[in-house]
Chains A and B, each alone.
Chain A
Amino acid sequence: MDINAIYTQIDLDLQGISSPEGLEQFRLKYLGRKGVVAELTSVIPTLSKEERAAFGKLANALKNKLVSLIEEKEKTLLGSAQENKSSVCDIGMPGIVRELGQLHPLTRITDEICDIFNQLGFSIVEGPEIETEYNNFTGLNIPLEHPSREAFDTFYIKDYAKMLLRSHTSPVQVRAMKSGKPPLAIVVPGRVYRPDAVDASHSFMFHQIEGFMVDKGIKFSDLKGILEIFAKTIFGKDIKMRFRPHFFPFTEPSAEVDISCIICKGKGCSVCGRKGWLEILGSGLIHPNVLKHVGIDAQVYTGFAFGMGVERIAMLKYGINDIRLFFENDLRFLKQF
């Protein structure tokens, strides 16, 4: 076979190749098992000793040439392919994507808060929204007819005696302490209801997170420690905290917890009412009467409890100024979270 004719054919074939597939065909044609080179070398055994050496050299040269030509062609093909692409794709165009949805801001905050306590060893427990009068009030040391109940105005339901929509998540304290034995460390997220006229800061339905811990030797300083971790995780480690004496029927001693205003850093602004402090939750050591009601010996065990409004935390954290936005569900609002 005429080696030169082969080289000419190679040149011709190479010029016509514009795709990796074409190059592969080319490779098979010349270097494949039944390709041109194989055909050439197949005649070697029939040649004389002298001819063999010369012919072998030529065949080898052809093979090497082909390998380098293919490599070269591969590079140019690849390069041109890249050029090709960048010329049709304007990277200034928006990326192609199907939009993700998002969780409601109240879900996000609830999860964030629950996760903090979960990591501290608290379990998450939920309870019913329709509660008994006992669990909502009496069991929590709130007398049914007393001014202390005024903070807990309540929706009652028809046809079911002494049943109501819980006005706080605290009834789950009663449930959990009745069904479980100390040590207990529990957080309770959920919807609660109070007949409040709706305005920028009031809603007849809102969300709370309750937390409590009961064990031997639980003390006020433990409450301070746990809540400090919580508040600094949510609002940043630079905030200041203060515990203010307060009154709740189900805790004694009781405290309201303020953080330094996250807007003005404590200097005083419209958000904190020029006080420099923002109230974020109520807390205290569980009242001995509450423990007594659920059959836990208050001489042996002590506990702390705290409760917060999820909307309030979300409003402070995100700077939302109207509670009604959470329930209006404007997509332009929801998509911000």
Chain B
Amino acid sequence: MKVTYNWLKDFVEIKIPPRDLANKLTMSGLEVISLEEKGGDFIFEIEITSNRPDWLSVVGIAREVAAITGAKLKKQKSLSLTKNRKAKDIALAIEDKSDCPLYTARIIRNVKVAPSASWLKSRLELVGCRSVNNIVDITNYVLFELGEPLHAFDLDKLNKERIVVRRAHPGEKITTIDGIQRVLSKEQLVIADGIKTVAIAGVMGAKDSEVSINTKNVLLEAAVFNPLIVRRGRQALGLQSEASYRFERGVDIEAVERASLRAAELIKEYASGEEIAFKAVGLSKAKSRIINLDVADVTRILGLNIPVAKIKKNLSGLGFGVKSKSKNTLAVSTPSFRQDVSLKEDLIEEVSRIFGYERIPVSLPAIKSCVSIRGKRGLVSEVKNILTGLGLSEVATYSLTDRASLAGLELGFSNEPIEILNPLSQEQEVLRTTLIPGLTSVVAFNLNQKQEYIPIFEVANVYLRDTNHPKEELMLGLALSGAQPVLLNNGALKDEVSLLNLKGMLETLFSRLGIKDYEFNSTLGSEIVEIYAQRNKIGSMSRLSNSGCAKSNIKNKNVFLAELSLDKVLSIACTDKKFISPPRYPGITRDISFILKEDISVKDILKLFKQTGVPLLQSVRIADYYKGKQIPSGFKGLTLTCFYSSVERTLKEDEIQPLHTQFCERLTKEFGVKMR
């Protein structure tokens, strides 16, 4: 809403400069977004909150200015009615009073349509309204000044001086003033004459009955339409106007007649029209509420003591009727233009707004602390810290995506995604069922930016169909690509990542979360590795397939991806630590080097150690792994470091020897390894 300094001065005496006024308005709830000096005047652009339709007018803002600056509103001259006017000329009918509580029509004859006087033109232009002609401009002027939308019809274009306010017939057509033909439905309320529809009530008039340069006689409409009907109607048409904006928020029923009169007076003065008839149908009084305000409540709610006299003054300055009911109770009646006020809290806001929020002191509430449980959020935070410690950077990608991005993935759930009813674009058509496409596109983006090493993760929800209620599942996604450049003591190294890097990170994560019983299972003929914990599948990982790379425009790079249900991981996490005494006695390590068939998994070798339970053998670690010239093809070389120790004593060499020989024999027997 735009309003000018001089226009406000028509209604209220202002003794402070525009900048100070702007600041005061902002601090009382009318946020001045901009203040501009133009044409010898100052334009205030103000953000009006949706609860205050009364502020969508110069007079409404002037009322506020008076209240916050302590100035008096200027007395407006009373508008006189024409003596010899008659009412019977106009036939007015409202089909449903709940759609249109009040409709007034005024007939003005012998107008001279011409360009507006320059003062009128420039005021309208300053508040951003285009000048059309004197009649239309006057209706707009009154709209801005008093907040009451008016409409002027060319009376001679109407059939039989008859007005009906009714719902549109389904399929009914109207060409509005903006030249667009619109098809109406029962949603819209219309103004019709005896034969045709002449306006969409409260939204826009019809082209063929608009005031033109040839107009001689005018029917001036001033009315109140049901806010919801105007809102639904204009939404269905995708249309908005200054009039509908105000009707939707609610106009002051008690100011309708005054607005009509004000326009008639201006038309008489600037378009030499002669008012000859006026008719009103409907209510012209608004409901007034009486709210009891206990002064103690003001202090209780604000934490500030405001004297009763001040409370009274602030409220009456805003147009409320204030009477003392008892020493500390006020009976406050609401003016017709304040339909937003219905509770004592509303009044307390009004009082404090005018008194100034800055005068409310600062205090701290008594906090009743409760036992704080770290819960899921704490665990998620721990997971993130472990992963960043492993060199992964956290990313955040959109939960909404296009359907195509979820198709043909090796990883992730391929369930039918939940669709968005009203997406703005295709990229928002569904809720994602997996984090994989988001991570892949982040990898692609960073490869494009020539990043050598891309280690990332995301923790976010996926959204799955379920019978009654959609399901949200918290997921962890990881992606690795490229090579990490490492400078070591003996020179530079390019550590090209593989699926084992991902595995290592997940193993570290599981270990830190106290998850012991997990497995990485590859399926024959597939690159997908399924991850199990406590015998339940919790996720999977894989290299991004060639087709996947092509789809994401990734060339000549390997991308490794993993996705796990974090909800499942956290449900089995066990972060309670139990102390185990570290070994007091030194142990003995023995290395075994051997070659074995390439298709035997290292996992099975390690499993043997767990199953056979060699006494005193505490751990078996892969110390080296090699393929190449020294190894016959079809075989691989492996060095295991076996660690023997006892919690009771220092072990002797000859004690270990038979145990170690036994373990080596088991290896030879089970897997046919050849010792080197």
A contact residues vs B (CB 8 Å cutoff): 93-94, 96, 98-104, 106-107, 111, 118, 120-121, 123-124, 126, 128-130, 145-148, 150-151, 155-160, 163, 165, 183, 185, 191, 193, 195-197, 204-205, 213, 215, 217-222, 224-226, 228-229, 242-247, 252-256, 285, 287-288, 302, 326-332, 334-335
Contact = CB atoms under 8 A, between A and B. Distances in A.
Contact of B52 (A93, A247, A255): A247
A253 B340 CA distance: 13
B388 A102 contact: yes
Describe A's contact surface by its main secondary structure: mixed
A246 B31 CA distance: 8
A16 B564 CA distance: 62
B291 interface: no
B463 interface: yes
Contact of B394 (A107, A213, A242): A107
A234 B377 CA distance: 21
Among A104, A185, A287, the most chain B Cβ lie within 10 Å of the Cβ of A104
Contacts of B399: 129, 191, 193, 205
A304 to B, nearest CB: 8
Contacts of B460: 191
Contacts of A254: 349
A247 B49 contact: yes
Contact of A244 (B357, B361, B391): B357
A100 B389 contact: yes
Interface stretch (B329-337, B449-457, B517-525): B449-457
27 contacts: A96-B488, A107-B396, A123-B372, A130-B469, A145-B228, A147-B248, A155-B420, A155-B422, A155-B423, A157-B431, A158-B420, A160-B469, A205-B400, A215-B366, A219-B300, A220-B301, A222-B303, A222-B363, A224-B361, A226-B364, A244-B29, A246-B49, A302-B301, A328-B445, A329-B442, A330-B449, A331-B449
B133 interface: no
B368 interface: yes
B418 A213 contact: no
A287 B361 contact: no
B20 to A, nearest CB: 14
A103 B384 contact: yes
Interface in B41-55: 49-52
A329 B458 CA distance: 11
Contact of A215 (B346, B365, B397): B365
B196 to A, nearest CB: 29
A104 B394 contact: yes
Interface in B300-347: 300-304, 343, 345-346
Given A160-B469, A287-B345, A129 B461 contact: yes
A159 B483 CA distance: 45
Contacts of B67: none
A101 B389 contact: yes
B270 to A, nearest CB: 33
B110 interface: no
Contacts of B463: 129-130
A98 B343 contact: no
Contacts of B442: 329
A331 B368 contact: no
Contacts of B580: none
Among A93, A163, A252, the most chain B Cβ lie within 10 Å of the Cβ of A252
A100 B391 contact: yes
Interface of B: 26-29, 31, 49-52, 228, 231-232, 248-249, 300-304, 343, 345-346, 348-349, 352-353, 357-358, 360-370, 372, 376-377, 381, 384-385, 387-400, 418-424, 428, 431, 442, 445-446, 449, 451, 454-457, 460-461, 463, 465, 469-470, 472, 484, 486-489
A104 B388 CA distance: 10
Contacts of B487: 93-94, 96
Given A155-B420, A252-B346, A331-B393, A215 B368 contact: yes
A253 B456 CA distance: 45
A103 B388 contact: yes
Among B367, B376, B457, the most chain A Cβ lie within 10 Å of the Cβ of B367
Given A126-B377, A331-B446, A245 B29 contact: yes
Contacts of B391: 98-101
Contacts of A219: 300-303, 363
B392 A101 contact: yes
B304 A221 contact: yes
B653 to A, nearest CB: 21
A213 B365 CA distance: 9
Nearest to A94: B487
A92 B316 CA distance: 77
A221 B395 CA distance: 39
B420 A157 contact: yes
A222 B353 CA distance: 17
A160 B470 contact: yes
A226 B428 contact: no
Nearest to A108: B394
Contact of A334 (B26, B346, B393, B465): B393
A205 B460 CA distance: 13
Contacts of B418: 130, 157-160
By Cβ-Cβ distance, the 9 closest A-B pairs, closest first, are A221-B303, A245-B29, A247-B49, A253-B349, A121-B367, A219-B303, A101-B388, A222-B365, A329-B395
A329 B358 contact: no
A195 B423 contact: yes
A34 B50 CA distance: 101
Nearest to B454: A331
A191 B449 CA distance: 28
Given A102-B393, A151-B50, A197-B424, 6 more contacts: A103-B385, A111-B381, A155-B428, A159-B465, A219-B301, A334-B394
Contacts of A183: 368
B630 to A, nearest CB: 30
B28 A245 contact: yes
A290 B28 CA distance: 24
A327 B419 contact: no
A280 B541 CA distance: 42
Nearest to B30: A245
Contact of B388 (A100, A123, A129, A287): A100
B392 to A, nearest CB: 4
Nearest to B398: A205
A229 B364 CA distance: 10
Given A96-B487, A101-B387, A253-B348, A327 B397 contact: yes
Contacts of A332: 449, 451
B366 to A, nearest CB: 8
B570 to A, nearest CB: 13
A147 B368 contact: no
A146 to B, nearest CB: 7
A225 B365 contact: yes
Given A111-B381, A219-B300, A242 B27 contact: yes
A195 B248 CA distance: 22
A247 B362 contact: no
A225 B50 contact: no
Nearest to B47: A246
B394 A225 contact: no
B451 to A, nearest CB: 5
A244 B400 CA distance: 35
Contacts of A160: 418, 469-470
Nearest to B471: A130
A302 B343 CA distance: 14
A247 to B, nearest CB: 4
A299 to B, nearest CB: 10
A244 B31 contact: yes
A253 B349 CA distance: 5
A178 to B, nearest CB: 17
Contacts of B349: 245, 252-254
A220 B470 contact: no
Contacts of A123: 370, 372
A101 B398 CA distance: 21
B400 A204 contact: yes
A302 B484 CA distance: 56
